[in-house]
Chain A
Amino acid sequence: MSKELLTGNEIIVRAALNAGAQAFFGYPITPATEIMAEWDTFYEKNRNNLLFLQTEDEMSAGFATIGAVVTGKKAFTATAGPGNILMQDAFSMAEAMQIPIVAIIGQRGGPSTASVIYSQQELTLTAFGGNGEGYRIVYSPSTIQELYDYTIKAFNTAWKYTTPTFVLTDGYTLKTRTNVEITRPKNLEKSFPMVLKSNKRGKKESEYVNLRNTYSVEEECFKNNKTLIEKWNKIKSQIEEHEVYELNKSKKDTLIIAHGNVASSAKQALYDTKKKSVKLFRPITVNPFPINALKKELKGIKQIIVTESANNQLLKLVKENLYGLNIPIKTYNKPALGITPEEIIELIKKNK
């Protein structure tokens, strides 16, 4: 274990390497570009073992990542905003065929090109983009240390469950430089090829793999959807993660729900105000959403405050998952704008 002074973007590359990543395909876009530049630094020193290609666009980056993953390499990509939109082309294929790619999403302002450094408006796109239903795992780390830990975890989860896995972060977190504990993970999931498993095969049809994401009849397509649903329902409770932050165990009447960077502000606000009647619920996996864990925290709660740097993305998930409960939900939403601890302190005072 060592402490290093690194930016979020640099930390991601350390984490990926320590998780056993072997290949990166990407296309420059702020604020995630430095991940690629940092990967190149390591690639130049270790060309025999690492792969790197700066592709012609984000579709190519996403699909080349898929190509490397199906042959058994731990491969990943990183993108943001309009790049995330284009990469949904590849992500939806990875979702349909449950190909364990890993992607780092550095959220920037939306909609469209918008601003380059910060937002939380790519939650819905990252978790549910494409013409599927979101059979993808999305981690939303809250601190730079978590960025390291959950990037490692993303590779492990992707390969353990053979499911595309995302680390949803933002430019503020990626561009901040701070001390991070670089620990070597003890257990790493092994990667494996989905095709060309053996060079010595004979005439038997069963020895060959024909992978596809197209179906000629509705029944066949429905069957594939059912398989995806069953798998998702089976694995999601093993993947769900959350954090509850409270100053002590005294009775609470207010629950703040936030994720990622905003959850950090909320934590700081609770710490600063010493407000004992308020606690924070933070989904670490925004997909699968930790529904049962959230429901457990609602005892005695008179009001919920959802705060996010988006207008209606975390809020939608909360509403969907708390359907039927009559606790009023208040919102403090600022799309593409940061939310400070001071603002949350004000928010807590206003909603006493």
Chain B
Amino acid sequence: MENKNNLSWPKCWKHSSKPHNFCPGCGHPIILKQLGHTIDELGIQSNTLFGIDIGCSLLAWNFFNVDTIQTHHGRTIPVMTGAKRSKPKMVSIAYLGDGGAYAIGMQHLISARIRNENITVIIVNNANYGMTGGQEAPTTIPGQITATTQSGADEFFTKGPELLSGASESPAYIARGSVDNPIQLKGFIKKAIEWQMTGKGFSFVEVLSFCPTNWRTDAKATIEFMNKLKSIYTIKEFTKENK
């Protein structure tokens, strides 16, 4: 049943693992809540394998009453590829941070897109490496201060959905959402998983997320930094359909 306002906990919520271990103000729980509602609505709780990377995302290893497997940094996509190819009827979801996806696991991400693996990849972009203490990520924006860009980051950064859109001619569901618009985000996640469930191939959602701990921001400054990220990283669906 659709849960329009997202006010209640998802049914697949694992209560014994709550309160969760994410920092106060972190965006992960917002994303996971939308994913949980999506799993409920699609009725795929018993048929989903949720793969989790190293980094802050690993704190989701016991977040749901959904079978999970947590692996090494950047390697979630190959694990979920092997699992999906081996059991095509299940729903295969890879959950990674921006470092896992765009730095150490980039070859896996690009290859999964090019090979049109029938999996759903959800990337959490908080513009830094959270778990290790706020170092520069592939998504750190120009001028951003991090533990390893102390006088401000250079002008180079990674736009995942744009890159993946251009990486192959084949159709794919690709979108970028943000945690400050959870209803829209849930729509993107749901479309991505449905894309996989109908056997259409690769689906991908990047989510702009809060990291007040490492951004060193209060509530107001967190929203301001999110708006800055949104001015650089366009929120939209990049979906390529069959012509």
Contact = CB atoms under 8 A, between A and B. Distances in A.
Interface of A: 22-23, 25, 51, 53, 55-57, 59-73, 75, 89-90, 93, 195-196, 198-201, 203-205, 207-214, 216
Interface stretch (B43-51, B95-103, B197-205, B215-223): B43-51
Interface of B: 11, 14-16, 21, 45-47, 49, 51-52, 54, 58, 61-62, 64-72, 74-75, 78-87, 90, 107-108, 111
B79 A71 contact: no
Contacts of B78: 55, 59-64, 67
A263 B78 CA distance: 38
Main secondary structure of the interface of B (DSSP, over half): mixed
Given A63-B71, A205-B14, A210-B61, A195 B82 contact: no
8 contacts: A23-B82, A60-B111, A61-B78, A67-B78, A200-B46, A207-B65, A210-B67, A212-B62
Of all A-B residue pairs in the complex, the 7 with the closest CB atoms, nearest first, are A67-B82, A64-B82, A67-B83, A63-B78, A68-B86, A56-B111, A60-B78
A64 B14 CA distance: 27
A337 to B, nearest CB: 35
A71 B86 contact: yes
Nearest to B74: A59
B87 A196 contact: yes
B59 to A, nearest CB: 9
Given A65-B82, A67-B81, A67-B82, A211 B70 contact: yes
Given A196-B47, A210-B61, A67 B67 contact: no
B86 A56 contact: no
Given A55-B78, A68-B83, A60 B107 contact: yes
A96 B97 CA distance: 23
Nearest to A62: B78
A93 B82 contact: no
Contacts of B64: 208
A93 B111 contact: no
A170 to B, nearest CB: 27
A195 B49 contact: yes
Contacts of B14: 205, 208, 210
Nearest to A209: B67
Contact of A210 (B46, B47, B68, B86): B68
A64 B78 CA distance: 5
Given A59-B75, A201-B46, A71 B58 contact: no
Contact of B79 (A63, A73, A196, A207): A63
B230 to A, nearest CB: 31
A199 B47 contact: yes
B85 A51 contact: yes
B108 A93 contact: no
B71 A57 contact: no
Counting chain A CB atoms within 10 Å of each CB, the highest count among B14, B66, B82 belongs to: B82
A213 B65 contact: no
A201 B46 CA distance: 6
A212 B57 CA distance: 12
Contacts of B68: 195, 209-212
A207 B45 CA distance: 11
Contacts of B74: 59
A196 B82 contact: no
Contacts of A71: 49, 83, 86-87, 90
A315 to B, nearest CB: 32
Nearest to B52: A212
A65 B90 CA distance: 17
Contact of B85 (A68, A198, A213): A68
A211 B85 contact: no
A60 B108 contact: yes
Given A67-B78, A214-B54, A196 B86 contact: no
Nearest to B47: A199
Given A55-B78, A59-B75, A212 B83 contact: no
Contacts of A22: 86
